[in-house]
Chains A and B, each alone.
Chain A
């Protein structure tokens, strides 16, 4: 029998996250995306204790407007030995971290940076209709004429079906919103810090039924960056006392995902595939994880991911999140202690891996009390393509 890719964990503990950095998050940064990227990457280098001149690997989101050459110019990179771009906005979220770890494990470069920088409020807004008026074919031609023109339209289809299948209600999603906002209320970086109640969630306006306004992530400006190198080099850098390693990574799709809504069963996230590979590769399971960073573009996807990754059986996430106690920073399984895309900022999922690092360092603004965080799962589920990483204390 041949070996499955899920049996191989070629990156295990071969890359260390040594620096994280970001700009302030805002609704109008007032500066170019190149400046945002440069500032975030410089901040991550400062955190690591290296100079941007030492960067020799860049992993960017394909959607990012900052090309490698622009950053070589702006940051004074001497020789870029490795570069990649990962396609799909949120789907790239944790994928860039996995790719960066792989580049280090393969020896392609010494100091690799993954980043996302965008004016997603003051310039291109992902939540608005962006289709051309005349569509030359493809999935848009079969959706936009019926008014399906924005991510919320497609993803809400999952949510309705999920509610139908498992009896989840808007109030269950509301408990996720309330909890994420509570976490953000402790986080000075967060855009939305005023605590909300379940009533506030239920009374927030219906945007795309079944999604209320308070189910939907922010649209904002900002940038985030992560620096990685080998564990050996990490031991000489600023955070040598807390080695933070990438233990495993996985990506997955499932079939028939073009156009999002034609998948075989849209009450189940595509991340079930990613989860299966991740656990197999890492030789770990849900009980080994101390905290969760879920890509929360829409609150219901936190429930879908709890089930996809096996933290609860299918259909039982609604009971697990009810009341919020289980998923609070001081609960059994904290979710998004930074406030997530929902309340901190929407930097296409990169802030989630950053927060995983803070939890391991013990520096989160919602650090779980009386509990050492040894392993964090950061993962996406964006209904088409998903990615996940396990970040652990070395």
Chain B
């Protein structure tokens, strides 16, 4: 019971990407995933969108799961969304999380405003985990990872 969580004491907000944990290998990504990370590197959130039926999809796939077209584009989205669900990790399961004392941290499932059910996994910065709530409005921001400056993560901050 060493990590007893006191409801009255708020944990520190996240201010940037987690350090020392697994990252995508940009050189080895399949072609149908690369656009997401290239856009993020350019400071844009782009989501795979079918050129035939115009449906967004995430996770990326080579074929549209709605109309089965192989044609798609990387469509820029507003970066606005809501927290659809979230968790707060308090037990470090990765050595780098443990060694760098990075708990607690939040993992948020962000539903983007462009399409119902269109969600990305991310972190919300600048807010104590105790203050995050379902349906909270958020806005995307971009930050490079410490280990691989070429890997830029789309992260989110609270918006009004």
CB–CB B90/A145 < 8 A? no
Complex contacts, B109 vs chain A, CB 8 Å: 157, 261, 266
Complex contacts, B107 vs chain A, CB 8 Å: 146-148, 153, 157
B13 CB, min distance to chain A CBs, angstroms:
14
Within 8 A of A (CB), among B116-160: 117, 119-123, 129, 134, 145, 151, 153
Within 8 A of A (CB), among B31-53: 33, 36
CB–CB B84/A161 < 8 A? yes
Q: Within the assembled complex, what's the spacing in Å between the Cα atoms of A134 and B104? A: 23
| Most chain A beta-carbon neighbours within 10 Å: one of B87, B88, B153 | B87
The chain B residue sitting closest to A255, CB to CB, is B65
Complex contacts, A134 vs chain B, CB 8 Å: 22-25, 28
Q: Within the assembled complex, what's the spacing in Å between the Cα atoms of A148 and B102? A: 13
CB–CB B24/A137 < 8 A? yes
Among B36, B90, B94, B153, the residue within 8 A (CB) of A146 is B153
Is B85 at the interface (CB under 8 A from chain A)? yes
Is A160 at the interface (CB under 8 A from chain B)? yes
CB–CB A209/B88 < 8 A? yes
Known: A147-B105, A156-B87. Contact between A203 and B59, CB under 8 A?
Answer: no
Q: Within the assembled complex, what's the spacing in Å between the Cα atoms of A259 and B57? A: 13
Is B8 at the interface (CB under 8 A from chain A)? no
Complex contacts, A207 vs chain B, CB 8 Å: 90-91
CB–CB A149/B21 < 8 A? yes
Within 8 A of A (CB), among B70-125: 84-91, 93-94, 97, 102, 104-105, 107, 109, 117, 119-123
Among A129, A141, A210, the residue within 8 A (CB) of B94 is A129
A-B contacts at CB below 8 angstroms, number: 143
Contact residues on B (Cβ < 8 Å of other chain), bracket? 35 or more
Q: Within the assembled complex, what's the spacing in Å between the Cα atoms of A127 and B65? A: 31
Complex contacts, B121 vs chain A, CB 8 Å: 142-143, 146, 148, 259, 261
Complex contacts, A148 vs chain B, CB 8 Å: 107, 121
A171 CB, min distance to chain B CBs, angstroms:
14
Among A127, A128, A136, A142, the residue within 8 A (CB) of B25 is A136
Is A206 at the interface (CB under 8 A from chain B)? yes
The chain A residue sitting closest to B58, CB to CB, is A262
The number of residues on chain A lying at the interface, defined by a beta carbon within 8 Å of a beta carbon of chain B, is 46
Among B21, B28, B93, the residue within 8 A (CB) of A127 is B93
Q: Within the assembled complex, what's the spacing in Å between the Cα atoms of A165 and B93? A: 28
CB–CB A209/B58 < 8 A? no
| Most chain A beta-carbon neighbours within 10 Å: one of B22, B58, B102, B153 | B22
B137 CB, min distance to chain A CBs, angstroms:
15
| Most chain B beta-carbon neighbours within 10 Å: one of A128, A206, A210 | A206
Q: Within the assembled complex, what's the spacing in Å between the Cα atoms of A164 and B86? A: 11
Among B23, B33, B85, B93, the residue within 8 A (CB) of A145 is B23
A292 CB, min distance to chain B CBs, angstroms:
26
Q: C-beta contact mask, B13-32 vs A, less than 8 Å → 1, else 0?
A: 00001100111110011100
Known: A135-B25, A146-B153, A149-B22. Contact between A206 and B3, CB under 8 A?
Answer: yes
CB–CB A204/B1 < 8 A? yes
Q: Within the assembled complex, what's the spacing in Å between the Cα atoms of A136 and B18? A: 19
Q: Within the assembled complex, what's the spacing in Å between the Cα atoms of A150 and B28? A: 23
Q: Within the assembled complex, what's the spacing in Å between the Cα atoms of A115 and B4? A: 39
Known: A147-B97, A147-B123, A261-B109. Contact between A208 and B89, CB under 8 A?
Answer: yes
Known: A129-B94, A142-B121. Contact between A205 and B86, CB under 8 A?
Answer: no
Known: A139-B59, A149-B21. Contact between A205 and B129, CB under 8 A?
Answer: no
CB–CB B97/A256 < 8 A? no
Is A78 at the interface (CB under 8 A from chain B)? no
Q: Which residues of B contact A (CB under 8 A)?
A: 1-5, 17-18, 21-25, 28-30, 33, 36, 58-59, 65, 84-91, 93-94, 97, 102, 104-105, 107, 109, 117, 119-123, 129, 134, 145, 151, 153
Given A133-B22, A205-B4, A262-B119, 7 additional A-B pairs, CB 8 A: A131-B22, A132-B22, A137-B33, A144-B21, A144-B23, A160-B86, A205-B90
CB<8 Å pairs between A and B, sample of 23: A128-B94, A129-B93, A134-B22, A136-B28, A137-B24, A137-B30, A145-B24, A146-B153, A147-B18, A149-B22, A153-B87, A156-B87, A205-B4, A205-B5, A205-B91, A207-B91, A208-B88, A208-B91, A209-B129, A261-B109, A261-B119, A262-B59, A262-B119
Q: Which residues of A contact B (CB under 8 A)?
A: 127-129, 131-137, 139-150, 152-153, 156-158, 160-161, 164, 203-210, 255-256, 258-259, 261-262, 264, 266
Query: Which 10 A/B pairs are nearest by Cβ-Cβ distance?
Result: A209-B88, A136-B28, A134-B25, A129-B94, A141-B24, A156-B87, A144-B22, A131-B22, A161-B85, A164-B134
